[in-house]
Structure formats: structure tokens, C-alpha cells
């Protein structure tokens, strides 16, 4: 089911390059990548970025009592966008898109699929 949901996100918008789901410990539960695209990060770099995502999630929790739970965040880089959605169960959806993607439309689709 998880793989199918991730695939439906990949199919939703051609600007999406990669979609994955991380457990709260940083282990990748499932992922899909757009066929034919060369990944921007190698395997070791990807693992490092997943660890960074888990550390960010942990640091966001420090402000939950005053600001509310973090639902999603986005990082815009010159070559791509990194979209991250945080769920109550600790799982995290991570996604890389083209830099010009409509991230709000994509985020709304993620929330619809996984609510």
C-alpha cells in the first residue's frame, strides 16, 4: 500500500523526481524514483540527507508546545526543491522535485493521500 501511495504521488506531477517514506529512526521504508532521471545524490549522500531530515524533525519538536506541530517544510535550492511532510506517527515523506514545481499543489496531494 505504501509503495502504491508513493507511486501515485510520482505519477501526479512530472516535476517530482523522487518520493520516499522514512521511519522516525531514519530508515527508508519505501521509495520510488522517476525512471530515466539521474539522481543528484549518490547512495551515501542520500543516506546523509535522510539523517539530516530526522535531525531537523527532532529539532522542530522543541517548539511544538508553543508553535504547534510542524506539518511540512520546503527547501528551495538552485537545482531542486526538497519537500518534507511530518506525520504524528513519526514517519516522514520526503520528496525531491524540479526547482520550478508547484510545491503547494504537491503538498496538498500528499496530505490528501496520507490523511
- Using CA atoms, how far apart are residues 32 and 18, in angstroms rounded to an integer? 6
pLDDT over 80 (residue 31): yes
Q: Does domain 2-114 have CATH number 3.30.450.30?
A: yes
What band does 110 get if pLDDT is binned at 50, 70 and 90? confident
Q: Where are the domains of the chain?
A: 2-114
- Using CA atoms, how far apart are residues 32 and 48, in angstroms rounded to an integer? 18
Amino acid 115: pLDDT: 74
- Using CA atoms, how far apart are residues 13 and 25, in angstroms rounded to an integer? 29
pLDDT over 90 (residue 25): no
C-alpha cell at 28: 527508508
Amino acid 17: pLDDT: 96
pLDDT tens track for 39-98: 999 999 999 999 999 999 999 999 999 999 999 999 999 999 999 999 988 899 999 999
Amino acid at each position: 500500500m505504501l509503495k502504491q501511495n508513493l507511486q501515485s504521488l510520482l505519477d501526479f506531477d512530472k516535476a517530482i523526481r523522487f518520493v520516499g517514506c522514512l521511519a522516525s529512526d531514519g530508515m527508508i521504508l519505501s521509495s520510488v524514483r522517476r525512471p530515466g532521471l539521474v539522481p543528484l545524490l549518490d547512495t551515501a549522500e542520500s543516506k546523509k540527507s535522510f539523517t539530516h531530515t530526522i535531525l531537523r524533525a527532532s529539532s522542530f519538536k522543541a517548539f511544538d508546545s508553543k508553535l504547534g506541530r510542524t506539518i511540512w517544510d520546503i527547501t528551495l535550492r538552485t537545482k531542486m526543491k526538497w519537500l518534507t511532510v511530518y506525520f504524528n506517527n513519526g514517519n516522514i515523506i520526503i520528496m525531491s522535485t524540479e526547482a520550478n514545481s508547484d510545491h503547494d499543489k504537491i503538498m496538498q496531494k500528499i496530505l490528501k493521500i496520507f490523511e
